[in-house]
Amino acid sequence: MSENFGEFLFPLKKIVEGMTEFFIPDFSQMKTLKNYAPSKVPVFYNPSMKLNRDIAILVLQAYQRTINRNLVVSEPLAGCGVRGIRFAKEVNGISEIHLNDINPEAFKLIKRNIKLNNVEDAVFLTNEDANLFLSQHDAPHKRFDYIDIDPFGTPVHFLDSAIRALKNKGVLALTATDLAPLCGVYPTAALRKYGGFSLRTEYSQEIALRLLAGCLAFAAAKHDLGINIIFSHKNNHYIRLYAQINQGAKKANQSLKNIGFIYHCFKCLNRKAALLTRLLVVTDCDECGSTLGSAGPLWLGKIADKDFCELVEIEVCKKRIGDENRARKIVRLVKDESDAPPTYFVVDCICDKLGVPIPPLTKVISQMCKNNYKIWFTHFHNRGFKTDAPAKIVMEAVRKALY
């Protein structure tokens, strides 16, 4: 006998995230149903993406304050609607939120969640393919101030239509969860999807972010648009990027000046960044002569704007979002490392290379500071740091820190 869940094909349960209550499919009950498989979960909700959504709320609020008027926002792949409905309830200065999902079950559940939260006046809902939905918003008077693309895997299939549906100076937020291609496990897949090779190094998650940013810069440039990365961060299973889009062929040319390659020596950990505009093809390490690995073309420019990060930091204090400390730590580190050069070192990786035990990070840092090199801690790795020192100096500092 089939069970009766009203208008839904599955049981629901109510949960709270941030200041928002909403229904999700009740997985615990579903596990008792015949034919249950996680891949068959009818509408998507991932509790481990809460931090991603918390930071999105902080960034969107900070952006709204810079624009200082009501915003029109959209989420074309909305799942159960938690992100968009949280925007409606937790971000001030939003006049309209347009949610969309291709899945009819998601559509029904979002509708239910909109009603539950009494946000019918501000939240509009459609049940279409995301590219079709975005294309219907490409006329200038229909465009959005902020578009949040949070898909399964890669966001690249939605870049063109999202860019065309954004107002001048609007913000595009992108999540990518396909870290295997982006972090160098499948470099050819990264070339196919992102137009650049990935590379498996200790800083491959930064390369991943830079590949996504580079891909966005090329996509925007086709429409005579430049990009400015205002905030970005990584987490274990995804990378996340917030880019402001600026109209003008000159702006597009300017942003393409940030494209280049990263070269990496797997023998001595030497690394170099080379801009595409001054392309010199580097094949051998200038320290040890080994053949270098390379990543790119990718974005070598800033992956966060310090002033904007300060505004996000203010929102962390004001909003007091549940997982405040994690969000605060990420925002502070992203701000602090916003002026640092590309790539970082990880002490454990250096020790592995040197075949020595791992000294305390603080001792390595104090060795580096003795030589007046700059150090930036990085949110990418809790035992990592960025520096203006060459790899051989960093290796030397690690050796000295052992005694």
Ligand X SMILES: C[S@@+](CC[C@H](N)C(=O)[O-])C[C@H]1O[C@@H](n2cnc3c(N)ncnc32)[C@H](O)[C@@H]1O
Q: Which is nearer to ligand X, 87 or 377 (CB)?
A: 87
Q: Which of 33, 139, 288, 356 binds Zn ion (CB under 5 A)?
A: 288
41 contributes a contact to Zn ion by CB under 5 A: no
Site string for Zn ion, 209-248 (x = CB under 5 A): ----------------------------------------
Q: Which is nearer to ligand X, 107 or 299 (CB)?
A: 107
List beta partners, residue 235.
238
Q: For strand 345-346 and strand 259-264, is the pairing parallel, antiparallel, or unpaired?
A: unpaired
Which tokens go with 37?
Answer: 């498989």
**Alpha-carbon distance values, 275 to 168, 179, 261, 263, 280 (Å):** 27, 24, 6, 11, 8
Q: Of the listed pieces 255-263, 279-287, 325-333, 364-372, which binds Zn ion according to CB under 5 A?
A: 279-287
> Which parts of this chain interact with ligand X (CB under 6 A)?
44-45, 49, 53, 76-79, 82-83, 101-103, 106, 129-130, 150-152
- C-beta of 95: minimal distance to ligand X in Å? 21
Q: How many CA atoms lie within 13 A of 375 on its CB side?
A: 21
- C-beta of 75: minimal distance to ligand X in Å? 6
30 contributes a contact to Zn ion by CB under 5 A: no
287 contributes a contact to Zn ion by CB under 5 A: yes
Which tokens go with 367?
Answer: 């060795």
Q: Give the separation between CA 286 and CA 288, rounded to whole angstroms.
A: 6
Q: Which of 262, 265, 295, 316 binds Zn ion (CB under 5 A)?
A: 265
Choosing among Zn ion, ligand X, none, which partner's interface includes residue 268 (Cβ < 5 to 8 Å by kind)?
A: Zn ion
* Residue 258: count of CB within 10 angstroms of its CB: 22
Q: How many CA atoms lie within 13 A of 88 on its CB side?
A: 26
CB closest to ligand X, residue no = 79
Q: Give the separation between CA 128 and CA 151, rounded to whole angstroms.
A: 14
Q: Which is nearer to Zn ion, 197 or 263 (CB)?
A: 263
List beta partners, residue 390.
none
